[in-house]
Structure 1
């Protein structure tokens, strides 16, 4: 059962955005802000010193030094029952997937209406996962594509599929394509291949130019079309 008020920790590095979020939350008597900080490091320190703990952390996804996803991992490790919402301007399903793997309970865009924001917080506190419908739909499509792709995920098969379009990729590029199609984020690929995330992005940009595509969804369509 929910308590009469929801205690919230807010972490947002832009002071103007943080002030607006505070005002939105404080307008509703249902919410009590117990900490409002400008970095993930401050958020973690605040949690260590909080008694009682907040029930919900709302984190900006992009902050200096430690981002919201890394902060989520740290919170989840130490406070497994904590509810966590990532608040972001980026409607990219890759970010949402990475956040979900880290253990978030919700992924909200900063242009969400106040009413939808309140509703999403309540749903998260009830144990539901919330995210924009568009992103959830993209993931559902990709999961269906993934089941098909799993049958032909070897490097040799990928090379044969792409050769039908006279597209030639080296082994490192083919491995990155394979991991992308398995739903891995750039960060996860970088960690697995022991290269920087920036290097992965450079590889992806070069590969996309070779394939005349721009997104992961287009890549999946290209490969699945060739398997039919």
Structure 2
């Protein structure tokens, strides 16, 4: 029996490339493709006979890959989740694993690593691209840079969450405003603290005002 996979990436050409690589591996069937996060969640939820593995991009419309992983884990603890993304930093890696991902591979390395990662997860193991795995055992250089970190390292959604935090919104209010869960807001806050080398919310507020995230 073939393993059923769902591919989720907002670029059709990239999905086609993934499909081409994966279908060379005997025993794999692409059961569905999604161009946005909500569609990916729906496909997993409605799949006849279940899904064995979901391959997710992080940067997608309406829900990013972290949010999709959290949503899937809320109703399916067993399906494998592999992040295939352009992001190579520790914050995204840790956020993905915290959200329930079983593997993490960069798009730059998919030619040699995708099949290895997929087979590992289907066998019930975790897989992190070796170069990135080392980040889990190193202190982030960003923590040494502190509040002087470049705001350009933040994604649009991270800046949005940071802006609400700086303006005094509670995590519940932020979630309601952005149509995401309170848990997801907490994930974003933790990611911001890690990426910027900060320790508490008050430091995030100061950073937001000093770096133009919130303009007076």
Report the TM-score, using the length of structure 2 for normalisation. 0.66
Structure 2 contact 37–64 (Cα < 8 Å) conserved? yes
CA 1:203–1:18 in structure 2 vs 1: closer, same or farther (change >3 Å)? farther
Structure 1 contact 7–31 (Cα < 8 Å) conserved? yes
1:95 to 92, 97, 119: 92
In the alignment of these two chains, the number of paired residues is 164
Secondary structure (helix, strand or coil) at the match of 2:128 reads: coil
Q: Distance in 2 between matches of 1:188 and 1:78?
A: 28
Q: Distance in 1 between matches of 2:210 and 2:71?
A: 29
Structure 1 contact 105–128 (Cα < 8 Å) conserved? yes
Match in the other structure for 2:104 = 107
Ranges in structure 1 where 5+ consecutive residues have no aligned partner? 147-157, 159-171, 174-182, 207-228
Which entry has the higher C-alpha Rg, 1 or 2?
1
CA 1:28–1:200 in structure 2 vs 1: closer, same or farther (change >3 Å)? farther
**Which structure has more RCO (C-alpha within 8 Å, separation ≥ 6)?**
2
CA 1:141–1:187 in structure 2 vs 1: closer, same or farther (change >3 Å)? closer
How far has the Cα of 1:113 moved from its partner?
4.3
Instruction: Write out aligned runs for 1:211-222 (5 A).
Output: none
Q: Aligned pair 1:186/2:175, yes or no?
A: no
Secondary structure (helix, strand or coil) at the match of 1:75 reads: helix
CA RMSD of aligned residues (A): 3.4
Q: Distance in 2 between matches of 1:113 and 1:71?
A: 21
CA 1:203–1:122 in structure 2 vs 1: closer, same or farther (change >3 Å)? farther
Structure 2 contact 113–129 (Cα < 8 Å) conserved? no
How far has the Cα of 1:40 moved from its partner?
1.2
Match in the other structure for 1:219 = none
How far has the Cα of 1:202 moved from its partner?
4.0
2:9 to 4, 8, 12: 12
